[in-house]
Chain A
Amino acid sequence: MKKFFMVLFNILSVCALAVPATASTTPQRSVLDNGIILLTSEQRALPMVSIELLIDAGSRHDLPNQEGLANLTARLLTYGTQRRTALEISDALDFVGARLSAGCGEDLANVSMTVLKKDLGTGLELLAEVLTGANFPQAEVDRQKQSIVASIRAREESPGDIAQRRFAAALYPQSPYGRPVEGNEASVKALEQKSLKAFYERYYRPNRTIVSIVGDISHQEIARALNEAFRSWQKGDPATDPVPPAKTGSAETIRIQKDLTQANIVLGHDGVGRENPDYYAIQMMNYILGGGGFSSRTLDSIRNERGLAYSVYSYFSAEKGHGTFELVMQTKNETALEAIRIANAEIRRMREELVTEEELKDAKDYLIGSFPLRLDTNRKVANFWAQVEYFQLGLDYPNRYPDFIQSVTREDVLRVAQKYLKPEKLITVIVANQKRIGDP
């Protein structure tokens, strides 16, 4: 009934900073015997433990013609180990009400667990098993391949997803960043058990792994438990930094026909890596352009003034070595070109004029002031510290963050807009009923 009694939120807004800010308590960090980097934050209020693992095993490591290998490996972690079948694993987890999931991105695989404190022993045992002893039974491989092919089909039902995928493909030709992490139907069907085992052996290694744990635990206690549970896990090749895409696509407009009432639009181009010193000025600039929910210029001009869209937002996502700028919106087919014109005009205006003192101050106040809200659950805290470690921001990052934001000037915002917003490079993807759109 969730679908029918849908709860309608007033706005879908995203203010996507790759790494959020601030923390209540600085975590403890140590490197375990086998190279696992462990961060823990003690939160005793609830009898539960949240665990987040990042592993340098993303789809950028896929071999040619084996697209989807990293993703299938991650998906199969919990479907059979040397000691347990897939059903035994899920039954053991379900019996204690633990959550365990594994996923895959372009750079990293991630494994998340939430478990009650009293069942932490069971949880860690299962976690260690899937990370050190997954055995990829052939029947499970076949099942998951079918399931992934089905998700590839299902994604075609979501016009927003289609637009995102086409945008990535156009922006990063011949790069793992331009391909879906899941691979394509043909590549997935061709994946073999032995490649999965080889991928797992090579990339799922303790010295490629960050573990962040938040909850009813102490650092010593958990370090001891992990040393014990993961003692058989041997070091492999060390983690390596991602290589940025060799080239980025040039400006073009891509139209995809679907029988839809709305045009789903993505505009964008390349952005910057998380290490770029202009990162904070860029986040401020984007907050004003389209990151700031109801406080953004594009939302004002496209939604509030003209009623053209329900949702419109922009973001600079930043990974190691590269990043992406996107502006995303949906509007009825008939007004697609008008909305695109206005979005383009707002992008140009960011490059032509200084933002107002008020806009700058509002952005600073929000970015600094909302910072505790990014850490208001154990799950968010666990994810936060894992990211801080991955991007090597330092455990004092929350203390330094306000200065990074505070020091940005209006001139900085104009400078980064001129440098990093590139109207001449905009790739425009329109998934819509093209007959109703007309020509530009």
Chain B
Amino acid sequence: MLAPLTATSQATQVQEFVLDNGLKVLLLEDHKSPAVTFQVWYRVGSRNEKDGKSGLSHFLEHMLFKGTPKLKPEEYSRIIAKNGGRSNAFTSSDVTVYFATMSRDKIGIEIELEADRMANALLGETYFEPEKKVIQEERRLRTEDNPVSALGEVAGAVAYMVHPYRRPVIGWMDDIQNLTRQDLVDYYKLYYAPNNAFIVMTGDFSTQEMLLKIKAAFGNIPRGPEPPKVRAEEPPQQGERRVTLKKEAELPFVLMYYHTPNLKSPDSYALDVLSVVLAGGRSSRLYHDLVYQKRLARSVDADYNGLAIDPSVFSVTAQLMPGKEPAEIEREMDRLLEQMKAELISDRELQKAKNQIESEFIYAQDSIFGQAMKIGYYEAMGGWRLMDGYLDGIRKVTREDVQRVAKAYLDRDRRTVGILLPTKENT
């Protein structure tokens, strides 16, 4: 019935089990504080959506709070709250995740409610139209009236032509408007099944006890159809793409998206180090030069998103100081990025970046919720066991590796530059 595939390592003591219906269960005991996080991860997100149906995964996430034959709309959240728990859900490009954190003696309630949600959601017609309005308000809040986030949306739509990462997770406003209840019902049937989901649980519990509870709650849910694979592959970019967004705002913002592989590539460790050398802390290159010395930027960032199912991007961003021109900072950003290709970083810089990554790795273990998130992202992307090799991979990175990945990926012909140009309404 259960196949215990226990693996321990320096990084994790996750225990893996797979139920007969295909549901994978990842358990990590951690007795630091008397709480347990329980998360159900569905392998579906905006990456699985089709043109014209953007926002479907996220819409469905909202509607899965609208009850089952046993549960009134929104009753889920009330039950968790009155049992002293906190619950929520989120949708990303790759996954949709439902979770609660509560005390060990109450977590059984969450386990049963999540099993009910996986199998029996009603997606009630009555609640469909009001919830659509709520989601449209959410889009206004997050994107329409948020200039930097709106720029990210436009640049993402240009950085990708073919791959569904070009679409925003929340969906385009018109698509949200045109989604129907039937779209949700079909999507739920296709993707919400034990064989397309996995459970991550961390905190103060006993593995054997929880496994029995999970089996009892989820074990009888039948396996679903095999969901269609996402086969879209982004063709290599040939030549820089540029977009501008004019919007009411105060300060210009510049972003650069460079196509990169994900964590399954051996280059990912050096890309992580590269991002820290560029923007990890006040002594990092971009921060020190652009924010501190030249005072061109108010803030800078470099972020490598390796935990994506398909190849994603390395982003370099800057919010400008008042009175500065995007062209000027772009030149300076280019100069600093070219330097990474032309010269080796110093030994001390390399060691500093590695120390920063290692200490953040330990700080992250302070939160059971954070640990569950990390296990879940790794599992969604390619398997939680990849976590084990992470610190070793980082330790092995050389100065030459950092230079090599800078040359390989910080290629102007394969980047998208997005610029926010603030406008001011005259009133």
B169 x A5 contact (CB < 8 A): yes
Q: Which residues of the partner chain A approach B34 to less than 8 Å between Cβ atoms?
A: 24, 372
A261 x B425 contact (CB < 8 A): no
Taken residue by residue from 80 to 105, chain A's Cβ proximity to chain B (1 for < 8 Å, 0 otherwise) reads as: 00000011001101111111000000
B134 x A309 contact (CB < 8 A): yes
Cα distance A53–B421 when bound, in Å? 40
Q: How many residues of A contact B (CB 8 A)?
A: 82
Q: Which residues of the partner chain B approach A24 to less than 8 Å between Cβ atoms?
A: 33-34
Q: Taking CB as reference atom, which chain A residue is nearest B95? A: A7
Q: How far is the CB of A381 from chain B (nearest CB, A)?
A: 9
Q: How far is the CB of A383 from chain B (nearest CB, A)?
A: 13
Cα distance A95–B102 when bound, in Å? 37
Q: How far is the CB of B305 from chain A (nearest CB, A)?
A: 4
CB of B343 closer than 8 Å to a CB of A: no
A8 x B91 contact (CB < 8 A): yes
CB of B288 closer than 8 Å to a CB of A: yes
Q: Which residues of the partner chain A approach B348 to less than 8 Å between Cβ atoms?
A: 95
Cα distance A24–B148 when bound, in Å? 41
B366 x A46 contact (CB < 8 A): yes
Q: Which residues of the partner chain A approach B170 to less than 8 Å between Cβ atoms?
A: 6, 8
CB of A368 closer than 8 Å to a CB of B: yes
Interfacial residues of chain A within 248-296, with CB under 8 A of chain B in the complex: 257-262, 292-295
State which of B93, B137, B288 has its C-beta within 8 Å of the C-beta of A331: B137
Cα distance A303–B251 when bound, in Å? 33
B33 x A370 contact (CB < 8 A): no
State which of B73, B141, B288, B322 has its C-beta within 8 Å of the C-beta of A150: B322
A1 x B305 contact (CB < 8 A): yes
Interfacial residues of chain B within 58-115, with CB under 8 A of chain A in the complex: 58, 61-62, 65, 73-74, 77-78, 81-86, 88-93, 101-103, 106
**A96-B355, A259-B248, A260-B145 are known contacts. Are A306 and B130 too (CB-CB below 8 A)?**
yes
**A95-B352, A261-B145, A304-B130 are known contacts. Are A310 and B137 too (CB-CB below 8 A)?**
yes
B140 x A5 contact (CB < 8 A): no
A332 x B250 contact (CB < 8 A): no
A332 x B281 contact (CB < 8 A): no
Q: Which residues of the partner chain B approach A303 to less than 8 Å between Cβ atoms?
A: 134
A377 x B366 contact (CB < 8 A): yes
A149 x B362 contact (CB < 8 A): no
Which stretch, B18-26, B149-157, B392-400, touches the partner chain A? Answer: B149-157
State which of B83, B142, B358 has its C-beta within 8 Å of the C-beta of A6: B142
Q: How far is the CB of A391 from chain B (nearest CB, A)?
A: 23
CB of B331 closer than 8 Å to a CB of A: no
Interfacial residues of chain A within 333-390, with CB under 8 A of chain B in the complex: 361-362, 365-366, 368-373, 375-379
A94 x B281 contact (CB < 8 A): yes
Q: Which residues of the partner chain B approach A43 to less than 8 Å between Cβ atoms?
A: 32
Q: Which residues of the partner chain B approach A96 to less than 8 Å between Cβ atoms?
A: 355, 359
B81 x A6 contact (CB < 8 A): no
CB of B360 closer than 8 Å to a CB of A: yes
Cα distance A344–B213 when bound, in Å? 45
Interfacial residues of chain B within 337-385, with CB under 8 A of chain A in the complex: 348, 351-352, 355-360, 362-363, 365-369
Q: Which residues of the partner chain B approach A147 to less than 8 Å between Cβ atoms?
A: 291, 295, 298, 321
Which stretch, A154-162, A234-242, A408-416, touches the partner chain B? Answer: A154-162
Q: Which residues of the partner chain A approach B363 to less than 8 Å between Cβ atoms?
A: 48, 99, 114
Range, interface on chain B? 35 or more
B130 x A368 contact (CB < 8 A): no
B284 x A94 contact (CB < 8 A): yes
Q: How far is the CB of B151 from chain A (nearest CB, A)?
A: 8
Q: Which residues of the partner chain B approach A262 to less than 8 Å between Cβ atoms?
A: 137, 140-141, 144-145
Residue from A94, A300, A365 with most neighbouring chain B CB atoms (10 Å): A94
CB of A246 closer than 8 Å to a CB of B: no
**A1-B312, A5-B308, A93-B281 are known contacts. Are A86 and B251 too (CB-CB below 8 A)?**
no
CB of A403 closer than 8 Å to a CB of B: no
Q: Which residues of the partner chain A approach B425 to less than 8 Å between Cβ atoms?
A: 257-259
A307 x B133 contact (CB < 8 A): yes
B362 x A311 contact (CB < 8 A): no
A8 x B142 contact (CB < 8 A): yes
B82 x A362 contact (CB < 8 A): yes
Cα distance A73–B149 when bound, in Å? 32
Q: Which residues of the partner chain B approach A150 to less than 8 Å between Cβ atoms?
A: 251, 298, 321-322
Closest 5 CB pairs of A and B: A369-B84, A97-B359, A307-B133, A3-B152, A307-B130
A-side interface residues toward B, CB under 8 Å? 1-11, 24, 43, 45-48, 50, 86-87, 90-91, 93-99, 114-116, 143, 146-147, 149-151, 153-154, 156-159, 257-262, 292-295, 300, 303-311, 330-332, 361-362, 365-366, 368-373, 375-379
B-side interface residues toward A, CB under 8 Å? 30-35, 58, 61-62, 65, 73-74, 77-78, 81-86, 88-93, 101-103, 106, 129-138, 140-142, 144-149, 151-153, 155-156, 165, 168-170, 248-251, 255, 257, 280-284, 288, 291-292, 295, 298, 303, 305, 308, 312-315, 317, 319, 321-322, 348, 351-352, 355-360, 362-363, 365-369, 425, 427
> Can you show 5 pairs from A to B with CB atoms below 8 A apart?
A5-B165, A7-B90, A10-B89, A86-B292, A295-B78
16 extra A-B contacts, CB within 8 A, seeds A1-B303, A366-B84: A1-B312, A7-B90, A8-B92, A9-B88, A91-B352, A97-B357, A262-B144, A262-B145, A307-B131, A307-B137, A310-B138, A311-B141, A365-B83, A369-B85, A369-B106, A370-B85
